[in-house]
Structure 1
């Protein structure tokens, strides 16, 4: 295993375009870090620079403290799992897994090869498939073979380049769980590239969010979700996406503060309102699960939020939950900001609608008006001009990442004890 350190890494192509622009990340020994972002954000380029398949224009790449900028891939002892599996069709599963050891001529005896291949096959449930060819395997089995080949190398780190993007949704979920369990069992430093934020949130110890070659935020999944640094991170992380509702902070005659929005007044806690006071307009970031039908909220809890009335255009029932949709007229002062955000996130458009979570048993339907409660303590206010999160609590966010690191350490210790 090894640590990986990136210091002010830059990748410029011949036309001067910076695909990766001044990125610094420290990956600890045994840590699982996800690089996530939309297409063209630089995540795969950064991964290829780690492994040595892409030249570094500026900055330093260190593996276990040693600068490796000029080292060829074969001298970095890193194992890469590709999107297209990169298996040899004429070789059996056994020989595909054994291939890295065959390549290191003289370093492994036949007994060593047999032991390592059988062990990896057992871990990946491939033992009964060792005599088959890749063409006769399912997509998930091929991906396991590619991972087996990485395991037998006993590499310092595993690098994954969108390994699940060719699989269907159900199989992706299964393979996510297998990769997560494998990484905890082996405790090998891992860097994983994906554009799928669900993969990022479920797999990583920490997640690095990239946009246009720039690092936006690196933190535990929970910190990214609860304390996003900016509008892009808030919108990209989470499904369904965070709602962005335009509004202006106002003070009533009684001294209470509220957000005047296209859907009416939403009362705000003083510390949140203070962040947006005096600004012409802000964007209120409100996740769908921050809402509930007011009739289902306990009286003791009601005072921690605000109630407003809205008409739902339609409802989606998903079995264990429902989502209601509310249309509103957007404020022209934030239209360009939201269009730019949609473009940055590879979305066609950010529709002017609010998505609210409803209980699975709710009978509210499209066309109905209902009273909705929103947990105003969890609202974030963003500056539409800069995208800055005006209400981010950096200390609370750092504590979330620290606790996540403690939890993962405890989990790894249990896995090692049971191995």
Structure 2
């Protein structure tokens, strides 16, 4: 195993455009870091620079403290798992897994090859498939073979380039769990590229969010979710996406600070109001689960929120949860910001609608007007001009990442004792 350090890494192509622009990341020995972002954000380019398949235009790359900018891929001792598996169709599963050991001519005896391949196959539940050819395997089994080939190399780190993108949704879920279990069991430094935020949030010790080649934030999944650095991170992380409701910080008739929005007044805690009071307009970041039907909120919690009334345009029932949709008239001062955000996230236009989480047993339907309670303590206010999160608590976010590191360490220790 080894640490990986990226110092001000830059990648420019012939036209001078920086596909990766001044990215610095310290990846600890045994850490699992995810690179996530929309198409074209530079995440795969960054991975390819780490493994040596792309030259580094500027900056330094260190593996185990040693500069490797000029080293060939074979000299970096990194194992890469590709999305298309890169298996040899004419070789058996055994020989596909053994292939890296066969390349190191004379380094391993036949007994050593058999022992390592059988150990990897047992770990990956492939023992009964060792004599089969890749063409006779399922997508999930093929991906496990590709991972077995990485395991037998005793590499300093594993690099994953969207390894689950060719699998269906059910298999992706199974393989996510498999990769997580293996990484904890082997405790190998891992860098994993994906555009799927579910993979990012469930797998990573830390997640690096990239936009147009620039690192936006790197933190634990929970810190990204609860204390996003800017509008892009807040919008990209979370499903359904965070709502961005335009509003102006004012004082209501009762003398309390509030946010005046197209859906009415939302009373704010004083510290949130203070952060946005000097702005002509702000975007309130409100996740769907911050809402509840007012009639279902316990009395002791009511003081930590505010109530608005709104008409539902339609409702989506998903079995264990339910989402309501509320349309509203957008403020022209934020239209351009939201359009740019949608383009940055590689998505369709951000529609002027609020998505609210409802109890799965609720019988409300489209056309109903309901009272919604919103937990105002968890709202974030963003500056539409800069995208900055005006209400981010950096210390609270850092504490979330610290606690996540502790939890992962404890989890790995448990896994090691089982193995």
With the shorter chain as reference, the TM-score category is over 0.9
SS at match of 1:132: coil
5+ long unaligned stretches in structure 1: none
SS at match of 2:9: strand
SS at match of 1:144: helix
Tell me the residue number matched to 1:271: 271
Off by >6 Å, runs of 4+ in structure 1: none
| 1:242-289 superposed Cα distances (whole Å, 9 cap, x missing partner) | 000000000134431000000000000000011100211000000000
Tell me the residue number matched to 1:262: 262
| 1:162-201 superposed Cα distances (whole Å, 9 cap, x missing partner) | 0000000110000000000000000000000000000000
Which whole-Å CA distance do the structure 2 matches of 1:29 and 1:350 have between them? 40
Give the 5 Å matches for 1:168-179: 168-179=168-179
Which whole-Å CA distance do the structure 2 matches of 1:84 and 1:77 have between them? 21
Tell me the residue number matched to 2:4: 4
Does residue 311 in structure 1 map to residue 311 in structure 2? yes
SS at match of 2:357: strand
Does residue 354 in structure 1 map to residue 354 in structure 2? yes
Cα drift, residue 16 of structure 1? 0.2
Tell me the residue number matched to 2:329: 329
Tell me the residue number matched to 2:378: 378
| 1:54-101 superposed Cα distances (whole Å, 9 cap, x missing partner) | 000000000000000000000000000001000001000000000000
Tell me the residue number matched to 1:56: 56
| 1:279-309 superposed Cα distances (whole Å, 9 cap, x missing partner) | 1100000000000000000111111100010
Aligned length: 419
Tell me the residue number matched to 1:281: 281
| 1:2-36 superposed Cα distances (whole Å, 9 cap, x missing partner) | 00000000000011010000000000000000000
Which whole-Å CA distance do the structure 2 matches of 1:172 and 1:329 have between them? 39
Cα drift, residue 240 of structure 1? 0.3
Tell me the residue number matched to 2:238: 238
Tell me the residue number matched to 1:123: 123
Cα drift, residue 416 of structure 1? 1.2
Tell me the residue number matched to 1:14: 14
Tell me the residue number matched to 1:138: 138
Give the 5 Å matches for 1:37-116: 37-116=37-116
SS at match of 1:333: helix
Cα drift, residue 418 of structure 1? 1.6
Which whole-Å CA distance do the structure 2 matches of 1:350 and 1:240 have between them? 12
- Structure 2 length-normalised TM: 1.00
| 1:222-247 superposed Cα distances (whole Å, 9 cap, x missing partner) | 00000000000000000000000000
Give the 5 Å matches for 1:397-408: 397-408=397-408
SS at match of 1:366: coil
SS at match of 1:61: strand
Give the 5 Å matches for 1:129-278: 129-278=129-278
SS at match of 1:334: helix
